[in-house]
């Protein structure tokens, strides 16, 4: 990182500090506070890390004000239109688009890691059939740390790459098997003659009883959804993966933690929550009632799929998904899908509303994704599992980047202590 100048701080009690300022390639400069405590005896205070850069990264850049998202410098809109998920995964992992030979080898290597150890299927049986797929994925991915523990040295780049390929390859199998388990159907094994998204759809909907042909339109639409969800800078689940990985823990354990973090409705769980919200709204004429609730501080209801910590403009992923929704639903003969019509009217009214305008609340990636997935026949409970499947590429790339970063060390934030001062123990008989 280039260091161009510094910031001088002075504060109560004659505190003085001079802190280096660093520039990145794009985006805000950073004030390097690593010496702040040594120079001032003070910590920074930033709940939710609204103004904190936790690392340097060359993977994804977001300009929240302009609504721009770049993977290794390439616009998400271009990748969604012109690339495919595994090629984008290669770009995110290795920093460059693959040439022909690199592309073919990467696809082959991922394809030949899609099977799970035969014992893994028995892990599912410990769960009730109605267990949420995200709970199953946390458990099964975490369990992989037991299957690949002995021969995994996280300090070995070759071991890290094998773990990376295994995770990216096996997530579709794990997600599809979570679905099959929930409906009591037999697991369908991955096939090496199918593409990545195609294989996932086949494992989700095929049965041993007959040949299942994957609709190429659905496979392409799902592949595009994977691209849009692949990475997103230092979001909550990626930061979780980095923090777990910073202790030297197994990458499978780190990914399991990332899945757990993503599940929350404020994060990846929002795609499921959006569809449930649209179901609850039911008709366009009830939109004002729900918008009023969203604006009411005393009502915990929030407009799911709206707002973002970083985007203070339209999430470019939401724009691609809105356009894709029109195309996919028309192809599926659902040109007048009621949920899509409510979503579009809700967006229109909200974006004209002062409350949303003042707070710069726009649709985010989760607002339209669930409508497409539902129209494709994917059950609501699987939406966040699909988000986790795609985000595994970003989680693994960010984990690898963290492991190679000489500045990284075990993550260990401090606090502003507001508890009681030191006091002597009170014997039971003297307590009130």
Counting Cα atoms < 13 Å in the Cβ hemisphere of 116 gives: 26
Contact 375, 332 (CB under 8 A): yes
Q: Of residues 84, 223, 315, 366, which has the active-site annotation?
A: 366
Under rule CB under 6 A, residue 366 binds ligand SDX: yes
- Please identify which residue in 132, 308, 322, 339 interacts with ligand SDX, judged by CB under 6 A: 308
| Six token digits for residue 30 | 């950073």
CB of 108 to ligand SDX, least distance (A): 29
CB of 80 to ligand SDX, least distance (A): 14
Under rule CB under 6 A, residue 261 binds ligand SDX: no
308 is catalytic: yes
| Cα radius of gyration (the chain) | 23
In the block, residue with structure tokens 């599992």 = 385
- Please identify which residue in 243, 303, 375, 402 interacts with ligand SDX, judged by CB under 6 A: 303
Query: Distance between the two ends of the chain, CA-based, in angstroms?
Result: 59
- Please identify which residue in 67, 245, 258, 305 interacts with ligand SDX, judged by CB under 6 A: 305
Residues 6+ apart with CB under 8 A from 120: 140, 143, 144, 147
Contact 172, 196 (CB under 8 A): yes
In the block, residue with structure tokens 């996919």 = 328
Contact 33, 20 (CB under 8 A): no
- Please identify which residue in 181, 226, 306, 368 interacts with ligand SDX, judged by CB under 6 A: 306
Stretch that binds ligand SDX, among 20-28, 151-159, 279-287, 308-316 (CB under 6 A): 308-316
Q: Of residues 308, 315, 336, 405, which has the active-site annotation?
A: 308
Under rule CB under 6 A, residue 384 binds ligand SDX: no
366 is catalytic: yes
Under rule CB under 6 A, residue 230 binds ligand SDX: no
CB of 304 to ligand SDX, least distance (A): 5
For ligand SDX, the closer CB: 170 or 308: 308
Under rule CB under 6 A, residue 89 binds ligand SDX: no
Under rule CB under 6 A, residue 270 binds ligand SDX: yes
Under rule CB under 6 A, residue 232 binds ligand SDX: yes
The DSSP symbol for 55 reads S
Under rule CB under 6 A, residue 266 binds ligand SDX: yes
Question: What CA–CA distance (Å, rounded) separates 95 from 163?
Answer: 18
Report residue 168: phi and psi, to 5°. -65, -40
Question: What CA–CA distance (Å, rounded) separates 430 from 432?
Answer: 7
| Six token digits for residue 239 | 């930061």
Binders of ligand SDX among residues 23 to 62 (CB under 6 A) are: 48
Question: What CA–CA distance (Å, rounded) separates 361 from 78?
Answer: 25
Question: What CA–CA distance (Å, rounded) separates 23 from 29?
Answer: 5
For ligand SDX, the closer CB: 84 or 315: 315
Under rule CB under 6 A, residue 359 binds ligand SDX: yes
Stretch that binds ligand SDX, among 124-132, 306-314, 322-330, 407-415 (CB under 6 A): 306-314
Which residues are tagged catalytic? 308, 366
Residues that bind ligand SDX (CB under 6 A): 48, 232, 235, 266-268, 270, 294, 302-310, 359, 361, 364-366
């Amino acid at each position: 990182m280039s260091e161009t100048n510094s910031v001088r701080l002075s504060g109560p009690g004659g505190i003085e500090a001079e802190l280096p300022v660093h520039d990145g390639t794009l985006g805000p400069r950073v004030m390097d506070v690593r010496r702040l405590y040594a120079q001032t005896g003070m910590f920074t205070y930033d709940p939710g890390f609204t103004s904190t850069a936790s690392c340097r990264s060359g993977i994804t850049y977001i300009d929240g004000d302009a609504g721009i998202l770049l993977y290794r410098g390439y616009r998400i809109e271009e990748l969604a239109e012109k690339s495919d998920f595994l090629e984008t995964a290669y770009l995110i992992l290795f920093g460059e688009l693959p040439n022909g030979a690199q592309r073919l080898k990467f696809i082959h290597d991922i394809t030949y890691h899609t099977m799970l150890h035969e014992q893994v299927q028995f892990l599912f049986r410990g769960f009730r059939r109605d267990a949420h797929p995200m709970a199953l994925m946390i458990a099964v991915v975490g369990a992989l740390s037991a299957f690949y523990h002995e021969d995994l040295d996280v300090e070995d780049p070759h071991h890290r790459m094998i773990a990376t390929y295994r995770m990216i390859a096996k997530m579709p199998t794990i997600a599809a098997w979570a679905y099959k388990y929930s409906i009591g159907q037999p697991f369908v094994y991955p096939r090496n003659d199918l593409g990545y998204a195609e294989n996932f759809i086949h494992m989700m909907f095929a049965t041993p009883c007959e040949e299942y042909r994957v609709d190429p339109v659905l496979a392409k639409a799902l592949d595009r959804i994977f691209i849009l969800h692949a990475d997103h800078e230092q979001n909550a689940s990626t930061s979780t993966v980095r923090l777990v990985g910073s202790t030297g823990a197994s990458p499978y354990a780190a990914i399991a933690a990332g899945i757990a973090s993503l599940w929350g409705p404020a994060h990846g769980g929002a795609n499921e929550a959006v569809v449930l919200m649209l179901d609850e709204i039911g008709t366009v004429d009830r939109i004002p009632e729900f918008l009023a609730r969203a604006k009411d501080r005393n009502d915990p209801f929030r407009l799911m799929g709206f707002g973002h910590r970083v985007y203070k403009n339209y999430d470019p992923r939401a724009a691609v998904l809105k356009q894709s929704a029109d195309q996919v639903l028309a192809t599926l003969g659902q040109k007048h899908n009621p949920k899509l019509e409510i979503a579009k009217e809700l967006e229109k009214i909200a974006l004209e509303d002062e409350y949303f305008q003042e707070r710069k609340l726009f649709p985010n990636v989760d607002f339209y994704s669930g409508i497409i997935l539902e129209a494709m026949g994917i059950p609501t409970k699987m939406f966040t599992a699909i988000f986790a499947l795609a985000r595994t590429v970003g989680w693994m790339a960010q984990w690898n980047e963290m492991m190679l970063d000489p500045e990284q060390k075990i993550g260990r934030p401090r606090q502003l202590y507001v508890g009681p001062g030191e006091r002597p123990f009170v014997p039971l008989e003297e307590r009130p």
